[in-house]
Amino acid sequence: MKLTPIIGLEVHVELKTKSKMFCGCSADYFGKHPNTHTCPVCLGLPGALPVPNKRAIEWCIMIGLALNCDIPLFSKFDRKNYFYPDLPKGYQISQYDQPFAINGSLKLKVKNEKLKKEYEKTIRIRRVHQEEDTGKLIHQAVNGEKVSLIDFNRSGVPLVEIVTEPDFESAEEVIEYLKKLQQIVRYLGVSDANMERGEMRLEPNISLTPRISNFQFPISNENLPKYKVEVKNINSFKFVEKAINYEIIRQTEILEKGETPLQETRGFVEVSNSTVSQRTKEEASDYRYFPEPDIPPFRWIKSQISNLKSQMPELPDKKLKRFGKEYSLSPSDAEILTRQREVADYFEKAVNDGKKFKVSPKQISNYIIHKKPNMKEVLPASLVQSIVQSTRVADVGEDKLRKVIEKVVKANPKAAQDFKKGKENAIMYLVGQVMREFPQRIDAEKIKASLLAKLK
Amino acid sequence: MLNKLTIKQAKEGLKKKEFSSVELTRACLDKIKQTDDKLNAFITLTEKEALEQSKKADSLLAFQGETLEAKPLLGIPIAVKDNFSTIGIRTTASSKVLDNYIPPFDSTVVAKLKKAGAVILGKTNMDAWAHGSSTETSDYGATRNPWNTSHLPGGSSGGSAASVAANQCIAAIGSETAGSIRQPASWCGVVGLKPTYGRVSRYGVVAMGSSLDSPGPITKTVEDGALILEVLAGKDPMDATTSPLPVGTYLSDLSNLNEDFVIGISDEYFITGLNPEVEKAVKKAIEKLEEMGAKIEKIKLFDPKYAIDVYTIIQRSEVSSNLARYDGIRYGNDRSFFGEEAKRRIMFGTHALSSGYYDQYYNKASQVRSVIIEDFKKAFEKVDVIVAPTSPSLALPVGSTKDQAMFGELADVLVEPSSIAGLCGINVPVRFSKSNLPIGMQIIGPQFAEKKVLQAAHKYGQETQNEEWRKKEPNL
């Protein structure tokens, strides 16, 4: 029985807004002293009310637009009710049935290392919605007693959840998607998407299905397997790969025995690179969603959305294409330069500065890619100057050059003879020898021309 | 007897230096000490703070002029329902779950009162979490009706209404989800204004039904209600559901009632089981309104009984979610401290929102809610306000709520439709029953038509101010 993995992905991205999602507290919580970024709202004190952060919502919609989503003109927040000590209100403000963005897609270029081929694949985005982060539990000993402490600094930090359709069939595809998503949110400047800091969190859901004859992605709902395993607690691309591959093997073994894997939530365990069961379907929570009465629903007008669209920077795919065309760069160079928006911007500034010095985009591209200048310290204009200097040709007088050439030809009779006999390479040796006679840099073409004149 | 004064009278006396705010405050505190053993209107008395605030008010009162205009409640002692957060003063919402909870912030209403110069006397008793229409569900014991202490004051703002009726304060603040201002005002014979949802900020009010809660004043006169509403109303950056509409000039326009004022009367609000004395008194009051020049128009509204189901589902659903935060981790007392009524509502709401039931209950209720809103909209195309009895009964005896899980909903049947439609409404006393219990009439207006409602109520108050029953005082 040939089985194919069917994988969907939920990604949480923490936005880097100045303030939290529903209050004025600073959202910059990482590494701060516990419970110093709090107020009645994010502590969920009696009577405190959420007031939505406009910037966060705009950014959420921008992520949706960047993922080619539709932006419904009506949207609202809902309450997701569940108990956990780090959830101060007893519910999370999230979006249920009418999120800010729906029905998007993201095109991937996937390299299959084993088959040594590259292919394109489009992943459908089901929804992009806005919610708030929870506090954090800290388990430690205080005065010798084991206790659980709660730090509410993270409580209410804006999160955007991006949910795909089950369109992936390998860990490679998932990683490619994640890299691309990370690149997009960084390009938009809405999140640093730093995995180690928990600014991007991944939850793949994995199942396997027999590969039938006319099988192809995307898979219609009725052909999806009857079960699904969700894996949580993954904080690196490497671990998501390991978790998926572990699940594929684990589920294959179960299916090959003729059994069906349990529908459940599993946690990834770093030390063993495996997953363990956390919660089965029977224990699944009923979140009792209902519309958040404290926040009026949103009714957008089309111009608001197009206005947001016009504020968006050029995205990586478009930039890559343009770089290739506009600056005649190879696809691989263009790809390297557009990986990060800062590098791309730096490159374009340098190209602009280089115009009047006749420094070509190709020269700048080569310099950036190979010499890796520190872009924080070296201004694009200084980079151009470095290139100009390194290629400057000293103007030595014709007489001086002729004298040196005569000297070099005399000192290297064999090379001169070789050239005359037709050995083209010999001329370059002589050019080199001439150059060595000068302390400054001289145009090689000019030396070559003079040498040819002398030897003919 | 300074404590008997209205805000208007007290302001005049303070301005003319006939007495000081300290004296006024002391008079109220004395009355509270003298009567609260019988009434149990207060949960927390803030005597020390009140005297400090009144002293400060006295020093400011010396400036007169602009200071008095900027601080329209300067030196006026006011009682606040215990579900309004008060910085440094414990706020229990009458539940033992919050027995030791001292908020680190003021609710917007309290902050506005303080900014207007008011003196906060203390926190008044209520049904626990505002769940009820009797104050009998308070974990701190029921409040008694000042007109007859073996009867209930109504609720949930029963402490505030009783306190105003007993002249323990000059005015009080209550909050209404559906009836909790108007019904106790009716049972206690005082003026209670429920503003439009979103007119007064809910920030810092312990949440009950978040899509319904409306803070408002409970006062001795309509004029005082207009004054307090002007202080409290307005957009609050801390409450996203407050309206940006400008605050009306309620007080200065109070007497400018249109000549061709139309009052709608709906037979559906004179329900079966309506106390005959209430029916008679309200019908008489309507006749009086007609004499005053108002045009009376018969209208047809949905039977208010439909609102009970809608209200019960929506409010309990919201309650089940709003009370989830009292999980035993942070407020000292765990969920075993919830009273019977709160537990019942949590279970009801949790069930109504459960997967598979949401469409059947919450969703359906929301749809009917829209229909009721439309029904009122249509009615208000023809009439300026609607007049009806506030409560179907007189104040009921203590103990009436025992084993009556739907007591509040039945007591509030006549105010629930306008509450779920987010309308404004006011209770005005119209006379007393033979048993010497007050009878109230409500005037309901469209959203943000507080001015109209206050004008009509004021007119009625002016026309009847010399009637014999107005001179009555509770005998405590």
Does the pLDDT value for residue A331 go beyond 80?
yes
Q: Which residues of A touch B84 (CB under 8 A)?
A: 47
The reply to whether A296 touches chain B by the CB within 8 Å rule is yes
CA A362 → CA A317, A333, A365, A381, B325, distances in Å? 20, 9, 5, 16, 61
Does the pLDDT value for residue B79 go beyond 70?
yes
CA nearest A69: which of A108, A127, A8?
Answer: A127
B222-232 helix and B450-464 helix, angle to the nearest 10 degrees: 160
CA nearest A162: which of A222, A120, A203?
Answer: A203
Does the pLDDT value for residue B460 go beyond 90?
yes
**Subunit contact A47:B330, Cβ cutoff 8 A:** no
Does the pLDDT value for residue A277 go beyond 70?
yes
My answer on whether A355 and A445 are in the same domain is: no
**How confident is residue A394, by pLDDT bands cut at 50, 70 and 90?**
low
Domain boundary among A258, A282, A303: A303
Active site residues of B: 81, 156, 180
State the residue range of the domain holding A409: 398-455
Could you say which residues from 118 to 157 on chain B have a Cβ atom under 8 Å away from some Cβ of chain A?
none
Report the mean per-residue pLDDT for chain A.
Answer: 92
- What percent of chain B clears pLDDT 90, i.e. is strictly above it? 93
**Subunit contact A45:B238, Cβ cutoff 8 A:** no
**Structural domains of chain B, count:** 1
Q: What is the pLDDT of residue B392?
A: 95
Enter the tokens of residue A311: 């504020």
What is the rounded distance in angstroms from the CA atom of residue B30 to the CA atom of residue A164?
68
My answer on whether A216 and A327 are in the same domain is: no
Does the pLDDT value for residue A229 go beyond 90?
yes
**Subunit contact A51:B350, Cβ cutoff 8 A:** no
B476: in domain? no
Buried b (16+ CB within 10 A) or exposed e, B6-16: bbbbbbebbee
What is the rounded distance in angstroms from the CA atom of residue A91 to the CA atom of residue A292?
10
**How confident is residue B41, by pLDDT bands cut at 50, 70 and 90?**
very high
What is the rounded distance in angstroms from the CA atom of residue A332 to the CA atom of residue A366?
12
The residue ranking higher by pLDDT, B144 or B63, is B144
The reply to whether B206 touches chain A by the CB within 8 Å rule is yes
Q: What is the pLDDT of residue A230?
A: 96
Residue whose structure tokens are 């070296």: A378
Q: Shortest Cα distance from A328 to chain B (angstroms)?
A: 52
A309: in domain? no
What is the rounded distance in angstroms from the CA atom of residue B326 to the CA atom of residue B92?
12
Q: What is the dihedral angle through the alpha carbons of A32, A38, A42, A45, rounded to the nearest 10 degrees? A: 140
What is the rounded distance in angstroms from the CA atom of residue A144 to the CA atom of residue A346?
54
**Structural domains of chain A, count:** 3
Does the pLDDT value for residue B74 go beyond 70?
yes
Q: Shortest Cα distance from B85 to chain A (angstroms)?
A: 7
Q: What is the pLDDT of residue A433?
A: 85
State the residue range of the domain holding B448: 2-471
Q: Shortest Cα distance from B344 to chain A (angstroms)?
A: 17
B237 vs A40, A51, A290: nearest CB: A51
A10: in domain? yes
Does the pLDDT value for residue A439 go beyond 80?
no
Q: What is the pLDDT of residue A444?
A: 74
Backbone angles phi, psi at B472, to 5 degrees: -65, 150
B191-226, pLDDT tens digit by residue? Answer: 999 999 999 999 999 999 999 999 999 999 999 999
My answer on whether A53 and A15 are in the same domain is: yes
Q: What is the pLDDT of residue A220?
A: 82
Q: What is the pLDDT of residue A405?
A: 86
B191: in domain? yes
Q: What is the pLDDT of residue B338?
A: 97
CA B192 → CA B75, B189, B235, distances in Å? 22, 9, 22
Region A251-258: mean pLDDT is 94
My answer on whether A95 and A45 are in the same domain is: yes
Enter the tokens of residue B388: 């009806």
My answer on whether A23 and A80 are in the same domain is: yes
The torsion region of residue B145 among left (phi > 0), alpha (psi -120 to 50) and beta comes to: beta
Residue B58 identity: D
The reply to whether A324 touches chain B by the CB within 8 Å rule is no
Q: What is the pLDDT of residue A436?
A: 82
Surface-to-core class of residue B319, CB atoms within 10 Å of its CB (0-12 exposed, 13-18 middle, 19+ buried): buried
A308: in domain? no
Backbone angles phi, psi at B410, to 5 degrees: -75, -40
Domain boundary among A303, A338, A366: A303
Q: Shortest Cα distance from A196 to chain B (angstroms)?
A: 30
**ipTM of the complex model:** 0.96
Does the pLDDT value for residue A188 go beyond 90?
yes
B305-322 helix and B340-353 helix, angle to the nearest 10 degrees: 100
The reply to whether A297 touches chain B by the CB within 8 Å rule is no
Q: What is the pLDDT of residue A282?
A: 66
Q: What is the pLDDT of residue B52?
A: 98
Q: Shortest Cα distance from A281 to chain B (angstroms)?
A: 14
Region A28-35: mean pLDDT is 96
Backbone angles phi, psi at B58, to 5 degrees: -60, -40
My answer on whether A130 and A162 are in the same domain is: yes
**Nearest chain B alpha carbon to A93:** B321
Q: How far is CA A162 from the centre of its chain?
A: 14
Enter the tokens of residue B76: 């006026």
Q: Peptide bond preceding A218: is omega within 30 degrees of 0, i.e. cis?
A: yes
Local structure of residue B448 (DSSP, 8 states): T
Is the distance from CB of B162 to CB of B172 less than 8 angstroms? no
Report the mean per-residue pLDDT for chain B.
Answer: 96
My answer on whether A96 and A128 are in the same domain is: yes
Could you say which residues from 84 to 103 on chain B have a Cβ atom under 8 Å away from some Cβ of chain A?
84-85, 91, 93, 98, 101, 103
B324 vs A40, A90, A295: nearest CB: A90
B240 vs A48, A52, A91: nearest CB: A52
Could you say which residues from 378 to 407 on chain A have a Cβ atom under 8 Å away from some Cβ of chain B?
none
**Subunit contact B353:A46, Cβ cutoff 8 A:** no
My answer on whether A365 and A423 are in the same domain is: no
Domain boundary among A303, A334, A362: A303
CA nearest B427: which of B213, B188, B257, B204?
Answer: B188
Q: Which long-range contacts (CB under 8 A, 24 or more apart) does B322-328 make?
A: B322/B207, B322/B208, B322/B210, B323/A90, B323/B129, B324/A81, B324/A83, B324/A89, B324/A90, B324/A91, B325/A44, B325/A46, B325/A88, B325/A89, B325/A90, B326/B97, B326/B98, B327/A83, B327/A85, B327/A90
My answer on whether A379 and A247 are in the same domain is: no
Could you say which residues from 147 to 166 on chain A have a Cβ atom under 8 Å away from some Cβ of chain B?
150
Q: How far is CA A276 from the centre of its chain?
A: 28
Is the distance from CB of A266 to CB of A227 less than 8 angstroms? no
Q: Shortest Cα distance from B189 to chain A (angstroms)?
A: 29
Is the distance from CB of B220 to CB of B190 less than 8 angstroms? yes
Region B252-276: mean pLDDT is 94
**How confident is residue A393, by pLDDT bands cut at 50, 70 and 90?**
low
Q: What is the pLDDT of residue A233?
A: 80
A437: in domain? yes
CA B247 → CA B111, B199, B231, distances in Å? 17, 8, 9
**Nearest chain A alpha carbon to B366:** A291
A319-329, pLDDT tens digit by residue? Answer: 999 999 999 99
Helix H or strand E encompassing A61: helix A54-66
Region B134-155: mean pLDDT is 97
B interface mutation test: which of A20, A22, A49 has the most B CBs within 10 A? Answer: A49
**How confident is residue B419, by pLDDT bands cut at 50, 70 and 90?**
very high
DSSP string, B227-257: HHHHHHBS-BTTBTTS--SPPP-TTTTTT--
Please tell me the number of Cα atoms within 13 Å of A351 on its side-chain side: 17
**How confident is residue B72, by pLDDT bands cut at 50, 70 and 90?**
very high
B295-316, pLDDT tens digit by residue? Answer: 999 999 999 999 999 999 999 9
Does the pLDDT value for residue A285 go beyond 80?
no
What is the bridge-based pairing of β-strands A158-164 and A117-132?
antiparallel
Backbone angles phi, psi at A149, to 5 degrees: -110, 155
Q: What is the pLDDT of residue B159?
A: 98
Does the pLDDT value for residue B248 go beyond 80?
yes
B354 vs A52, A90, A288: nearest CB: A288
B198: in domain? yes
My answer on whether A199 and A72 are in the same domain is: yes
What is the rounded distance in angstroms from the CA atom of residue B439 to the CA atom of residue B431?
6
The reply to whether B105 touches chain A by the CB within 8 Å rule is yes
My answer on whether A368 and A436 are in the same domain is: no
B305-322 helix and B364-382 helix, angle to the nearest 10 degrees: 130
B325 vs A90, A291, A293: nearest CB: A90
Backbone angles phi, psi at B129, to 5 degrees: 60, 15
**How confident is residue A419, by pLDDT bands cut at 50, 70 and 90?**
confident
What is the bridge-based pairing of β-strands B119-124 and B77-81?
parallel
Does the pLDDT value for residue B69 go beyond 70?
yes
Chains A, B: CB contacts within 8 A come to 97
**Subunit contact A45:B211, Cβ cutoff 8 A:** no
- CATH code of the domain containing B403: 3.90.1300.10
My answer on whether A283 and A423 are in the same domain is: no
A35-79, pLDDT tens digit by residue? Answer: 999 999 999 999 999 999 999 999 999 999 999 999 999 999 999
Is the distance from CB of A203 to CB of A11 less than 8 angstroms? yes
Does the pLDDT value for residue A392 go beyond 70?
no
The reply to whether B330 touches chain A by the CB within 8 Å rule is yes
Region A118-125: mean pLDDT is 95
The reply to whether B358 touches chain A by the CB within 8 Å rule is yes
CA nearest B28: which of B122, B117, B110?
Answer: B122
A170: in domain? yes
Region A408-422: mean pLDDT is 86
A353: in domain? yes
B21-39 helix and B7-15 helix, angle to the nearest 10 degrees: 150
**How confident is residue A298, by pLDDT bands cut at 50, 70 and 90?**
very high
Q: What is the pLDDT of residue A145?
A: 95
What is the rounded distance in angstroms from the CA atom of residue A367 to the CA atom of residue A360?
11
